[in-house]
Structure 1
Amino acid sequence: MALSRNIVSAVPLPRECSVIDHYPRTDLADAYSIELPPGVSQSPEELARFMFAHAPGWSRALMGLRDLLVAGLGLKTVAQLTATTPEQAAQRIAFFKIYSRRAGEIVLGEDDKHLDFRLSLLCPPAPRGRRLTVSTVVHCHNRLGRGYLFVIAPFHRPIVRAYLRRAARVGWPGATPG
């Protein structure tokens, strides 16, 4: 039974996901969902912070390689995006900017000269809860963006799945009383 909670499923973008119609045109849109065990936090922000704090080592290595390759193109690197002060940390999760928070959802992302993307972590309140769905939408601005997306899309999908599986294996944070 516990093993089933480590299964990550590709799902359609949930209708209640606030990024579903964020861009007039999307160049990538996907969503992955995982069951959450009883007693786990239902806070999308807490789940996001936990998930990104427990990144698989191989994904960090890929991001390092990505940074080496794109630095010469003038694209933002992880180091440039990472918070350095407590005020910045409150507005970022890992290297993602927080765009919005609402009950059951947090939206992260980044805008750059080649593409913009949004990442929704949706955890509807009980009784519909018990699942975390991570949805990604990407809008490319130019050929550089489309080329970049072509190269990274095959890595994006397994990385999202790996982040969700790893957080489940490590053990999601518990719900805080109150």
Structure 2
Amino acid sequence: MNPRVTPCAVPPGTLISAYVEGAQFVDSQRTFTREAERTALSHLLHLMAATPGWIDALMTTRNRVVKLLGLKDLGRLGHIDLNREESTYQVHDRLGIFTLLANTPNEVLVADKDKHLDVYVSLSRSDVQADGTREIVVATVVHTHNRLGRLYMLPVAPVHRYIAPLMLARIPG
């Protein structure tokens, strides 16, 4: 893995921290960037738009397989329009495979919810540090609701723990 990206605790006081209790899966990774002016939403949109093709191919395969099990087709992670003005995003808008739940300059919270599981993803940024950098944290929290949700997470959890740091490493240092 990239040495710039390291596991960390879900930052206290973030919007996603309210969803950690009782979760069946929690993953949180951090890196640092000198892009101090970029908002949390801008970071997330650029990360999703830069999704490697092989990850979107995995999503396509996932969508075909889980449809047989009664889960919904999420589409592609990288299906993001970078020409859309950031200020036009509103709560409940779609961002790739997720729905926007909250958006502040320092944190964006998205989710995908269904009868089997709820997935929450947050990208948060810290205040600018003395060296001009900001800490960027991507945290994922999953609550499963039934056996199918738990079964789904068996292969997804290790793949997520590989892909999340890989994606976060794409944020310029």
Q: Structure 1 length as normaliser, TM-score?
A: 0.80
Q: How many residues align?
A: 161
Q: Is residue 111–residue 118 contact of structure 2 (8 Å, CA) maintained in 1?
A: yes
Aligned to 1:66: 62
Q: Is residue 109–residue 123 contact of structure 2 (8 Å, CA) maintained in 1?
A: yes
Greater mean alpha carbon deviation, residues 93-102 or residues 27-36: 93-102
Aligned to 1:79: 75
Q: Report the Cα offset of residue 80 of structure 1.
A: 9.3
Q: Report the Cα offset of residue 7 of structure 1.
A: 1.4
Distance 2:115 2:45 in 1: 26
Distance 1:29 1:23 in 2: 7
Extract unaligned runs of 5+ from structure 2.
none
Q: Structure 2 length as normaliser, TM-score?
A: 0.82
Q: Are residues 1:55 and 2:51 paired?
A: yes
Residue-by-residue CA offset, 1:36-55 (whole Å, 9 max, x unaligned) = 02x44330000000000000
Stretches of 4+ moved more than 4 A in 1?
80-84
Q: Report the Cα offset of residue 124 of structure 1.
A: 2.1
Aligned to 1:29: 26
RMSD over equivalenced CA pairs, Å: 2.6
SS in 2 for 1:160: helix
Distance 1:40 1:83 in 2: 22
Amino acid at match of 2:95: I
Distance 2:76 2:6 in 1: 32
Percent of aligned positions with the same letter in both sequences?
29
Amino acid at match of 2:70: G
Aligned to 1:146: 150
Q: Are residues 1:130 and 2:134 paired?
A: yes
Q: Is residue 23–residue 142 contact of structure 2 (8 Å, CA) maintained in 1?
A: yes
